[in-house]
Amino acid sequence: MSSSHPELSPALAPTSRSRRLSPHVLGLAVGLAALALAGCQSRGGLGDITGSIGKSAAQPLSPADWHAESERWGKRYDANQKDRDAAFYYARALRALDQNAQALAVLQSAVLTHSNDREMLGAYGRSLADNGRLREADEVLSRAHSPERPDWRILSAQGTVADQLGEHARAQQIYQAALKIAPNESTVLSNLGLSLALSRQLPEAERVLREAAAAGGSDVRVRQNLVLVLGLQGRFTEAETLARQDQSPAEAAATVAYLKRSVSQQNSWDILKTGAKAKSNTAQPKPVQASAPAAGGPQG
């Protein structure tokens, strides 16, 4: 995933019921959500609900399933690269397997042939974001739906790109527009919650993430990001209690210990970057934002 770091404010005011956070912690800890968002959860079929701390939620298809999908649609695509479905579903499988450059190449060619296909444009916009081409992604996604036929999925994807660009106020407006079309949609609420956190509005972020967690169709990752926001407010007992809904007691304790270090140490960016890249079994915060399930396909 490619991304640029948002500019950090020089100081942070204490939040209610919280300790004073390190000047870098909030922007960096929550900023991690926006930095990863388009590449990690808008991908086809890999899940679309906000975030992850520690173990990720169960996914619809396993890596082996996606490899099989890639083989099946790849053969059909090789036989006829103008086959619309072959290009769309082959690229979706490639994105699910993190083969982002190849997926982008397939979609870049496909949109030339299927220039009026809004679903294809949406997939292309997400793929551009996967590859860190955020301004292009923003422009393409804006063409993937129309004012008279708005698509909440595309709006949600646009919002995640705006958040990655550091344009959090615009992102929040986009999410609100998506919620007018799809009220109580957990993916959009999740993205809005993390966008608010990126704007240093932790109590409001908590409220929205609680709403997302209560919405139908939400999954473990919504609660995991609520754990993150509680931890960023210094409410570690609450964070650990919530984490235990989805993690073992040892994993929940490790998650909260990690959050405690992150809000108390000056080198929190290094800690969080390490946590985002860690491949050990230790539970560590890895917040991500969703874009939205792609219309007409499982997700992405």
Q: Is residue 252 part of a domain?
A: yes
Helix, strand, or coil here: 149?
A: strand
User: How far is the C-alpha of 153 from the C-alpha of 90, rounded, in Å?
Assistant: 20
In-domain check, residue 11: no
Residues written for the chain: 300
Query: CB of 297 within 8 A of CB of 88?
Result: yes
**Alpha-carbon span 278 to 286, nearest angstrom:** 9
Residue 15 resides in a domain: no
Query: Which CATH number do you get for residue 156?
Result: 1.25.40.10
Residue 121 predicted with pLDDT over 90: yes
Q: How confident is the model at residue 293 (pLDDT cuts 50, 70, 90)?
A: low
Q: What is the mean pLDDT of residues 143-162?
A: 91
Mean pLDDT of 56-71: 78
Number of domains in the chain: 1
Least confident of 15-29, 32-46, 241-255: 32-46
- Identify whether 54 is part of a domain: yes
H-only helix segments in the chain: 25-41, 63-79, 84-96, 100-113, 118-130, 134-142, 152-164, 168-181, 186-198, 202-214, 220-232, 236-243, 249-264, 268-277
Q: What is the mean pLDDT of residues 223-228?
A: 88
Q: Which residue has the higher pLDDT, 167 or 264?
A: 167
The answer to whether residue 192 is domain-embedded is yes
Asked if residue 89 belongs to a domain, the reply is: yes
- Assess if residue 42 is contained within a domain: yes
What value does the CA radius of gyration of the chain take, rounded to a whole number of Å?
19
- Determine the Cα–Cα distance for residues 144 and 161; give it in Å rounded to an integer: 14
Domain encompassing residue 41: 25-277
Q: Which of 12-21, 201-210, 286-295 has the highest mean pLDDT?
A: 201-210
pLDDT at 199: 87
> pLDDT tier at 60 (50, 70, 90 boundaries)?
low
Output the CA torsion 100→150→139→299 (10° steps): -10
In a domain, 1, yes or no: no
- By mean pLDDT, which of 65-74, 142-151, 235-244, 246-255 is the weakest? 142-151
56 pLDDT above the threshold of 80: no
pLDDT in tens, 70-112: 999 999 999 999 999 999 999 999 999 999 999 999 999 999 9
